[in-house]
Amino acid sequence: MRIDVVSIFPSYFDGLTLSLLGRARENGLLDLHVHDLRDWTSDRHRTVDDTPYGGGAGMVMKPEPWGLALDELAGSSRPTIIFPSPAGEVFRQSTAREFAEHDHLIIGCGRYEGIDERVFEYAATLGEVRLVSLGDYVLNGGEVAAMAMIEAIGRLVPGVVGNPESLVEESHEDGLLEYGSYTKPSTWRDREVPGVLLSGNHAAIAAWRREQQIERTRARRPDLLSD
Ligand code: SAM
């Protein structure tokens, strides 16, 4: 899978050299390229923003650098072009799974008041465009959202997570939150590990875990049960 990220703060993504994704990049499972949007500017100040038509606070990202960046990065591959946006569809595990099937993703990180709206229309001539929100709150820029998405998508690429079993038993994989996990020691500061987990009875453990999943989903995320 190839992922191209465009940002005015490329060093945000330095952390993606670490841990599982860092190893996946070294092993060639994940071909991640981070680009500076300012490389597609041509003025002395490398300007990427300007005042909004119609007035209002803040600045808007100019369309031209974005057009040039997308032309160069999309080529003829018909990529999926993701723009993180609080006004987009909410990113879910199912979205991550869908994107993990794609060969080429481009992620365009907005800043300021966002990107000139015509960029999204133009991008749709180059590939599939998705405006994707991390949740119902506003970040300063798309970088943190892009990193979250890359991590969620990247770990679903076959081979990135060593034991594929561990992907199946996660929160949201079956529409429920995951059960609680415990490790040694069995008693810690007067708190005991639930006895059933020490019983060796696999059926009883599976039943207990399922019950936990339903209970905690009902308590913490009842919206998931009514979907
Ligand atoms: N004016 C925009 C609005 O109200 O929809 C918000 C702009 S925000 C300050 C700047 C950039 O942060 C956005 O272009 C987007 O890339 C990113 N961003 C902010 N909140 C986000 C969220 N919840 N999910 C994904 N990206 C977000």
* Ligand 1 geometric centre to CA of 115 (Å): 10
* Ligand 1 geometric centre to CA of 28 (Å): 31
Instruction: Indicate if ligand 1 lies below 6 Å from the C-beta of 87.
Output: yes
Q: What mean pLDDT, rounded, does the chain reach?
A: 95
Which residue, among 5, 1, 29, 27, has the nearest Cα to 15 in the 3D structure?
Answer: 5
Q: Could you tell me the pLDDT band of residue 227, with boundaries at 50, 70 and 90? A: low
Tell me the mean pLDDT in the region 92-99. Answer: 96
In tens, the pLDDT along 123-141 reads 999 999 999 999 999 999 9
Q: From CA 188, how far away is CA 170, in angstroms rounded? A: 25
* Ligand 1 geometric centre to CA of 217 (Å): 28
Ligand 1 atom nearest to CA at 135: 23
Supply the residue whose CA is at minimum distance from atom 6 of ligand 1. 113
In tens, the pLDDT along 181-195 reads 999 999 999 999 999
Q: Per-residue pLDDT for 158 more than 70?
A: yes
Q: From CA 213, how far away is CA 225, in angstroms rounded? A: 11
14, 118 Cβ separation under 8 angstroms: no
Q: Could you tell me the pLDDT band of residue 163, with boundaries at 50, 70 and 90? A: confident
Q: Which residue is associated with the tokens 């032309």?
A: 71
pTM: 0.94
In tens, the pLDDT along 30-81 reads 999 999 999 999 999 999 999 999 999 999 999 999 999 999 999 998 999 9
